[in-house]
Amino acid sequence: MALKIMILGANGFIGSALTNAILRERDWEVYGIDLSDNKLGELPRERRFHFVEGDITINKEWVEYHVKKCDVVVPLVAIANPAQYVTHPLRVFELDFEANLAVVRHCVKYGKRLIFPSTSELYGMSPDAVLDEETSPLVYGPINKQRWIYAASKQLLDRVIYAYGVRDSLDYTLFRPFNFIGPNLDNIEEPKEGSSRVFTQFLSNVLYRRPFKLVDGGLQKRSFTYIDDAMECLLTIIENSGGRATRRIFNIGNPDNCVSIRELAERTIRIAQEFPELREAAKSTEIIDVSAGEYYGKYYQDIQVRVPAIEAARRDLGWQPHTDLDTAIRRTIDFYVKIGSFNPLNAAVSGL
């Protein structure tokens, strides 16, 4: 019997990529739910994809019924944008923690395998140069820095899931994405500053001919991971042959793509110029500095560097990332060009 996979948030960045990867590369059935279907393209027509539009905080019976019915549950509904951690911290707690806790408990009740998205943010301001799943300390700032409510919510869920594993033998895997980028990351046609994560924010700034803003000089570093590489890892985790991912935590990231945000900005401008549609706008894009306080407000605190240890995934899943940063940037821009996001009309429609 083909595996039945339930994906909550199937229209999100990771959810849509995962649905696509499963339908393309495996014979599994997917049961998905999300608020809308705009990132799914033709997927809802696929015979093995059963999709409903809905809200997991409202359609609770649908959720419980499908946890019961499926073999593996992947709850991907969450607010994952730092600008919102500081403006809507309670919404982050309610959705990322409370709504997901209910799903975790259904998995315990019905004995289902749970693949849960932890986050690279969990390490916070950890002093470790390379972040290890089992040994790195998790370090956050004071309560008045509301940014940490996301990491703290996710951390507590990791701990709850771990404890269910110890007490009830819950079959779970926690995976920690490190700055995945790729098609459908965020909507670049949304002009509002802070509505995106950094890479898509930069692409949006090219579209609207605005300068790139480097928070505190852009010296902070992230390890950008191409979404297709990440999906290969997730498929292996879901497959779980020989139980090798059961009750384990895996960083999914690309340490070779660790660059500063300034470097990301420079590369994005250089690579965007390869596309005739973007050449002029990219060439004239300015890079300016802003303070974190100006950009995010007083509740924000940044993470200076974040490099994943990926030995666990290499050794036990036989996985490693292979897409370099320039290729990841190029493929993502190519996607947005092809779907017409850089059409100047989009900027006009938004009145900019």
Contact residues: ligand UGA, CB under 6 A: 80, 82, 119-121, 177-180, 197-198, 201, 213-215, 218, 220, 222, 261, 302-303
Looking at beta carbons only, is 39 or 66 nearer to ligand UGA? 39
| Minimum CB distance to ligand UGA, residue 49 (Å) | 25
| Minimum CB distance to ligand UGA, residue 258 (Å) | 12
Q: Which two tokens stand for residue 265?
A: 């900005």
| CA–CA dist 331, 29 (Å, integer) | 28
Looking at beta carbons only, is 119 or 285 nearer to ligand UGA? 119
| Minimum CB distance to ligand UGA, residue 28 (Å) | 26
Looking at beta carbons only, is 64 or 193 nearer to ligand UGA? 193
- Cα–Cα distances (Å) from 175 to 19, 138, 233, 271, in that order, read 17, 16, 10, 30
Q: Which residue has the tokens 């594993």?
A: 165
In a 10 Å sphere around its CB, with 0-12 CB exposed, 13-18 middle and 19+ buried, how is residue 120 labelled?
A: buried
Query: What's the half-sphere exposure (Cβ side, CA atoms, 13 Å) at 138?
Result: 18
Find how far residue 323's CA is from the centre of its chain: 17
Q: Which two tokens stand for residue 352?
A: 């900019």
Looking at beta carbons only, is 201 or 240 nearer to ligand UGA? 201
Contacts of 167 (CB under 8 A, 6+ apart): none
| Minimum CB distance to ligand UGA, residue 191 (Å) | 13
Looking at beta carbons only, is 113 or 197 nearer to ligand UGA? 197
Looking at beta carbons only, is 3 or 287 nearer to ligand UGA? 287
| Minimum CB distance to ligand UGA, residue 323 (Å) | 16
| Minimum CB distance to ligand UGA, residue 306 (Å) | 7
Looking at beta carbons only, is 252 or 317 nearer to ligand UGA? 252
| CA–CA dist 250, 332 (Å, integer) | 25
| CA–CA dist 338, 76 (Å, integer) | 26
| Minimum CB distance to ligand UGA, residue 36 (Å) | 20
Looking at beta carbons only, is 97 or 178 nearer to ligand UGA? 178
The b/e string for 245-267 (b: 16+ C-beta within 10 A; e otherwise) is bebbbbbbbbbbbbbbbbebbeb
| Minimum CB distance to ligand UGA, residue 219 (Å) | 9
Contact 142, 84 (CB under 8 A): no
